[in-house]
Structure 1
């Protein structure tokens, strides 16, 4: 240890200061120890005068002066200071330059005593001394280069054995220690350079050359050979790394050179894999394994393929070499496969095979841990060739219409799911709309109109289920479905069904179907539409639906709920109808029959339907319908008042007089009924006159028109086999009363019945036909036949019988005749012309001047809710208004309003 020149040594002075601090500390010691302390104090400290002590800044109290005390003798075992710090008399050897050699065995200088105090041999005023510490180890004659050569010789022999796949003949532990020693002596760089050269020589000579000789063989064979050498090389390097582990961790890890883990694939890649004769065959060999699996010509060797993928990953050549080649060959295969399958297979078969191919390719990528980039790019090219480039074939109308007609839910779901992979599901919309429009048009404009609503509801229900299940509620297809229904439902065709008018037949048939539901209740619902079926979604007529899906599980509902469900479904169709005037006219007429004849199955269902119509069309649409219900309620109260008055005045007894019930109807709210002349029996005439007198006494200024065609009655009839109570119409009752008092064999001629009843001839024939030619025949026609002739005669049917006491005879007036149907259509068409003319006038009054095209467009918008006329009919109404001087033509195909 050396001290810097000019810095005084402080070892002795520090010791002196330490002793001074010890002397200043107060102590409570025994007397002998105190005397000993004083003796030592006298050796180390200088005498102090009392004055000096008193002037000390830290002095508080003056201690007793001990100078007069006799000097204490040290105890025998006490060590004198001179003995404690005695050294050999020989002073350390000091060089002339002031350097002290501490390695010399001489002792320090003996301390000197000055004025009773001991002074060390070091004089602080002489300057610092330079201390020199010499190396105690002796120099050896070690040769590190010779040791390196010795260890490398052992390592070289071991490497030779390892490269021959041997594991015996050397000690790994000794070799490891040898490598460690060489690295510690600075030979790590040389050692790695020799190892690198030795390994490279081995790979080139023992591995690459045999593989190059096999390069002429097929790709798979070359791949197998390379994989075998790669596995062998990794095994050899595992042993080598264990021996050179210290080199790897201590030198290579912190240097720019590759570690042994990195060196293993780098050397094999640069020497073997990158060889021009081997590289393409190795990659193509792996691709041929997949190609054989795709074409089913050879089963995929899973172990071999997995080893190849792992090798590509280990060598770092997967992304740069294998993946591009694999994707290029895959694209060629998929392109050829899709072209072949789309021409040879049907669309459902192609979709199934395409789904299977995609699933198999992605499963292979996941099973063999191929990169996510490979899966992504492979999936992209699969979808591009199988879906995007085949979009026209997959969305072709002919192919889709076959699936729709067969109600192939599963195939449609697969087709949509395949297209949805590239967000192309909405591309089915044009073909889907075309099929829906064609199918619906055939139903609406077809000849069989009786089942029109049933077929439309079945079609709507089937397509709704198809949209929810197969098309995954696709928004675009949903809009297409609604637009298609709106298009074909409002198609009109002038023909016999609509009596040459532009009226839509759908409105009429919806009204009749609602009448059927409200009259018959749940019994009137067709089985094909009931919600309580095991599959509530049915196919089109004549088709078999697929197996029920989850949404079609059996539904248990009560009768009222069943009727409400059917009304909701009918209302779905009603929403698509533009011309609601036809529906209103027929619904109003049918409602009147139900209310007057008491034929409604449920008053709640009637009110429920009225509420639905009010919500859908507004209060203006249902104003007259609501008034009809009010009239029935008021008529019921009026009849109660009349009967009470009759009992109070005449003492009316039930069963002895005619039981009359009358409904007073508002002519503005109810349909218009014709006045049919008829000769009323005297007792009935008297009861009618009595009620009319009572009514006019309460309501002055009102006129009553009796509509006998709407009346019905219950009458007792006696036959040879028993008495019955017949429920008949008023016209039937008038005819049956003519046979009172006649025997079973007495005949009445057709002419006699015609003159006695006063009915028009068509009504007489229709009434006699219902009484003598229907299933229940209280009268017998002579001769027998279905048609009524003027020469026919009629007698009482003595063999009439029925298991029930009350028998309902077919009431002709409850069924709509052709004349009534024609009259309704003609009235609706005429009302539409009036509405069209009113709309034209309103538009002209607001615009004053307007072009022809604009006028036609505005009229169509204004009259859409009540029913749109054809453009030719709109032109006719314009001409009528010009003739009436409401408007006039101007130049430039313009119209102006005439104030």
Structure 2
């Protein structure tokens, strides 16, 4: 039997192999005869089965041995024509399907059959031609009916042009999806390996873009350019708050521009140009308003512009350029308005943190925030100078300064994001106005008035605690959070809050150049607190002393520490004295004596006053004096009656009372025991003066506190607020008070104006001595110095205690020359040993 002959045929080889495998058995051949063969590939497979003889016997015969297989070309004219006809029909069906899709109708042929036709044509090697055909049909459709519809419908307004173009873009996207599903094999298999041909989606976008940019025939611009005009109108509607704004239309339009690659080329430039014009008009319109209104308007505009770019998918580069243009127009071009000192001052005056934060953020966008430091410091200096030079409200100076500082600290914290530059500027401004020479001329003290008032403020805190503070100075929630983060005690605790308030006062103290004034007044107030038992907290007293020692050194607090030691020594001495009295059998008096022994060098100086004490009190003092002098040879006690206080028992008609009074008040009250049994029971002013030993202002203030104050245990005749030498006084038998122990205001313990001036003079005098001592020390070590160098050295050595004018230094140099400590040699000085 001759070997079978196989000739190659044209057509898809994988279909051939698949068919020949299916028909390799007799059963398959029989089924093939009965099947209705419509597919050309199936018919070809059946014919080849007959040629190979696979219908009569199997191709593999193991018992007959190897067979020689010869393959020759098989040429059948009918087969080639049949295949060509099949491919022609497939192309026509595809074209027909495209036309149907373009009419927005479903194709007449099943999509699977159309897909198979595309695959067969591609496998036949005609993929390029198929791609060209598809491109021609799509281009013809877009540049024909679609372009005509677009130009006709877009001829009215720009918004309608945008809607029209977006509508046909949506239609084309739907049609393109159907086309891509039919030509999927061409798109995902054939075109992937072809470098010169676009994929179907890219081709569809390119063709639509070409149609949109096609030169107009009727309108003044292409469809896409008119549509971009519509987008700009939509954005303008949004900026003006116009109800015609359509958010969905804007979002879809921007997405379309991104896809057809028209965003950067056609839209971005026009958008930025129109935005620049809008910003200029907006700034010009808002610039006539107040700074606060301008800041709020700019903040709102920038927020809306940023939100629009993010919400409607604007490109990031567009957003950056847009905001940069806005910053340049609204901030850079109007920086003079934004940095106007007067306007900024009004915002700070109102404690308007939010507008100030908005201003800071605006300036930071253009990197101009550091220029805000100038108006910031200028305002602080001006407002601070008004406070420290206000002689009418001098008692409120420190509270006002702390409230001012508190408001500024909050501004730095919440508005300036804790910027160290602004905090440093705040400190510089405070240092400037606190040590300004104008303060000295306003108060006419010659030394720092601020130092005096800070000392009195701390005295108020240590006497009265937090109840004396205004609410504006108390810590807020953020302060407490910051304290907890830094590991400090919570400011919600009373002791911790008091400690924080002392720290705030010390912040002001650090700015003072004349710390000797503070020391002098602080020593006086501390003495009163210790001697009168007025301290609200012993722990707070010790804490404050530790703070001063840490701040100024041990030399500054040496005398203050000695005052605390004297208090303890005094307690020990009184315990020893009482033990001595008990041991000697002298403890028979009903008078409970307590004596404070003060070191003359450590404590403030007090005037010596001679008063007539009751016999029992005078006897007790004589006993203690004798005991102390006998115990400490060479020591001498000087009694300071102006600092003494006591408790006096008094009988009134309604109930007996215990009166807490000063020694002066007690002496005056006990005088009325002598006239208690007389019918009229009055004492004249002169009688009181002669019997008490008091006179002048001391007597006037004492009588005024007893007869004209809030607690009136004496009655003045005639009635009035001022005490005169012609007045008479009687005991107020009708006196009543809900408390058994009544404290009477001790007016003589308050500082008088004369005492205040005397303290300032003493500080100025001490400062002169310190200056002269510094000059001598410097010249002793340097031997010879020029005038300028000597003045500089003196200022450097004395600045911690208090600033000295160069004129004062020159006067002290002259005094030392007169005392022959120095010798002038031209412009230089020499030390004389």
TM-score (norm: length of structure 1): 0.76
Number of the residue aligned with 2:10: none
1:316/1:626 CA distance change after superposition, 3 Å: same
Contact 1:744 1:797 in 2 (8 A): no
Contact 1:492 1:505 in 2 (8 A): no
The gaps in structure 1 that reach 5 residues or longer are 1-102, 104-130, 538-554
Q: 2:582 aligns with which of 647, 650, 654?
A: 647
Q: How far 1:449 moved relative to its partner? A: 1.0
1:295/1:894 CA distance change after superposition, 3 Å: farther
For 1:487-521, what per-residue CA distance to the aligned partner results, in whole angstroms no more than 9, with x for missing partners?
A: 223335466985x3332222212222222233334
Q: How far 1:136 moved relative to its partner? A: 6.8
1:616 matches 2:567:
no
For 1:131-182, what per-residue CA distance to the aligned partner results, in whole angstroms no more than 9, with x for missing partners?
A: 9934174544525777665554454444444444443445555544444444
Residues of 1 paired with 2:90 and 2:655: CA distance? 136
Q: Secondary structure at the match of 1:816?
A: coil
Number of the residue aligned with 1:585: 520
Contact 1:493 1:502 in 2 (8 A): no
Contact 1:492 1:503 in 2 (8 A): no
For 1:232-283, what per-residue CA distance to the aligned partner results, in whole angstroms no more than 9, with x for missing partners?
A: 3334444444444443344333221112222111222234325363043232
Contact 1:511 1:586 in 2 (8 A): yes
Q: How far 1:748 moved relative to its partner? A: 4.0
Number of the residue aligned with 1:225: 164
1:156/1:847 CA distance change after superposition, 3 Å: same
Residues of 2 paired with 1:316 and 1:683: CA distance? 111
Contact 2:606 2:640 in 1 (8 A): yes
1:275 matches 2:215:
yes
Q: How far 1:775 moved relative to its partner? A: 3.7
Residues of 2 paired with 1:232 and 1:782: CA distance? 109
Contact 1:744 1:798 in 2 (8 A): no
Residues of 2 paired with 1:326 and 1:717: CA distance? 93
For 1:846-891, what per-residue CA distance to the aligned partner results, in whole angstroms no more than 9, with x for missing partners?
A: 5555555554444333322222133433333333334434445555
Q: Secondary structure at the match of 2:513?
A: coil
Residues of 1 paired with 2:501 and 2:186: CA distance? 88
For 1:820-869, what per-residue CA distance to the aligned partner results, in whole angstroms no more than 9, with x for missing partners?
A: 11111110111112222333333444555555555444433332222213
1:391 matches 2:328:
no
Q: Secondary structure at the match of 1:451?
A: helix
Residues of 1 paired with 2:71 and 2:238: CA distance? 81
1:664 matches 2:616:
no
1:201 matches 2:146:
no
1:802/1:205 CA distance change after superposition, 3 Å: closer
Number of the residue aligned with 2:504: 569
1:678 matches 2:678:
no
Residues of 1 paired with 2:319 and 2:756: CA distance? 68
Q: How does 1:242-321 map to 2 (within 5 A)?
A: 242-255=181-194, 256-275=196-215, 277-278=221-222, 279-321=224-266
Q: How does 1:103-182 map to 2 (within 5 A)?
A: 133-135=70-72, 137-140=74-77, 142-143=80-81, 151-170=90-109, 172-182=111-121
Contact 1:241 1:260 in 2 (8 A): yes
Q: 1:626 aligns with which of 545, 556, 561?
A: 561
Number of the residue aligned with 2:316: 372
Q: Secondary structure at the match of 1:677?
A: coil
Q: How far 1:478 moved relative to its partner? A: 1.6
Residues of 1 paired with 2:257 and 2:700: CA distance? 99
Residues of 2 paired with 1:494 and 1:485: CA distance? 13
Residues of 2 paired with 1:576 and 1:315: CA distance? 67
> Which of structures 1 and 2 has the bigger CA Rg?
1
1:298/1:739 CA distance change after superposition, 3 Å: closer
Q: Secondary structure at the match of 2:208?
A: helix
Q: 1:513 aligns with which of 457, 473, 480?
A: 457
Residues of 1 paired with 2:176 and 2:658: CA distance? 113
Q: Secondary structure at the match of 1:727?
A: strand
1:358 matches 2:291:
no
Number of the residue aligned with 1:336: 281
Q: Does 261-270 or 844-853 show the bigger shift?
A: 844-853
Residues of 2 paired with 1:766 and 1:304: CA distance? 87
Residues of 2 paired with 1:890 and 1:207: CA distance? 107
1:688 matches 2:632:
no
Residues of 1 paired with 2:462 and 2:740: CA distance? 26
Residues of 2 paired with 1:177 and 1:524: CA distance? 95
Residues of 1 paired with 2:149 and 2:661: CA distance? 112
Residues of 1 paired with 2:247 and 2:532: CA distance? 83
For 1:454-500, what per-residue CA distance to the aligned partner results, in whole angstroms no more than 9, with x for missing partners?
A: 222222222222322233222222222222223223335466985x3
Contact 2:118 2:186 in 1 (8 A): yes
Q: Secondary structure at the match of 2:446?
A: coil
1:450 matches 2:390:
no
Q: How far 1:654 moved relative to its partner? A: 4.2
Contact 2:821 2:831 in 1 (8 A): yes
For 1:409-448, what per-residue CA distance to the aligned partner results, in whole angstroms no more than 9, with x for missing partners?
A: 3333333333344454443322222222222222211021
For 1:284-320, what per-residue CA distance to the aligned partner results, in whole angstroms no more than 9, with x for missing partners?
A: 2222221222223452223332332232222222222
The gaps in structure 2 that reach 5 residues or longer are 1-51, 53-67, 481-489
Residues of 1 paired with 2:740 and 2:99: CA distance? 120
Number of the residue aligned with 1:865: 800
Q: Secondary structure at the match of 1:728?
A: strand
Backbone CA RMSD of aligned residues: 3.3
For 1:166-212, what per-residue CA distance to the aligned partner results, in whole angstroms no more than 9, with x for missing partners?
A: 43445555544444444333333333334433433333333335545
Q: Does 688-697 or 793-802 show the bigger shift?
A: 793-802
1:481 matches 2:422:
no
Which structure shows the bigger proportion of residues in helix conformation? 2
Contact 1:248 1:259 in 2 (8 A): yes
Number of the residue aligned with 2:346: 402
Q: How does 1:854-893 map to 2 (within 5 A)?
A: 854-889=789-824, 891=826
For 1:602-631, what per-residue CA distance to the aligned partner results, in whole angstroms no more than 9, with x for missing partners?
A: 333322222222222222211111111111
Residues of 2 paired with 1:410 and 1:525: CA distance? 27
Residues of 2 paired with 1:222 and 1:722: CA distance? 101
Q: Does 607-616 or 158-167 show the bigger shift?
A: 158-167
1:615/1:221 CA distance change after superposition, 3 Å: same
Contact 1:443 1:456 in 2 (8 A): yes
1:236/1:745 CA distance change after superposition, 3 Å: closer
Equivalent pairs, count: 747
Contact 1:530 1:536 in 2 (8 A): no
1:346/1:790 CA distance change after superposition, 3 Å: closer
Q: How far 1:663 moved relative to its partner? A: 2.0
Contact 2:491 2:497 in 1 (8 A): no
For 1:722-764, what per-residue CA distance to the aligned partner results, in whole angstroms no more than 9, with x for missing partners?
A: 6544433333333344443322525544444434444443333
Residues of 2 paired with 1:536 and 1:218: CA distance? 60
Q: Secondary structure at the match of 2:333?
A: helix
1:813 matches 2:748:
yes
Residues of 2 paired with 1:494 and 1:287: CA distance? 62
Residues of 1 paired with 2:251 and 2:360: CA distance? 35
Number of the residue aligned with 2:674: 741
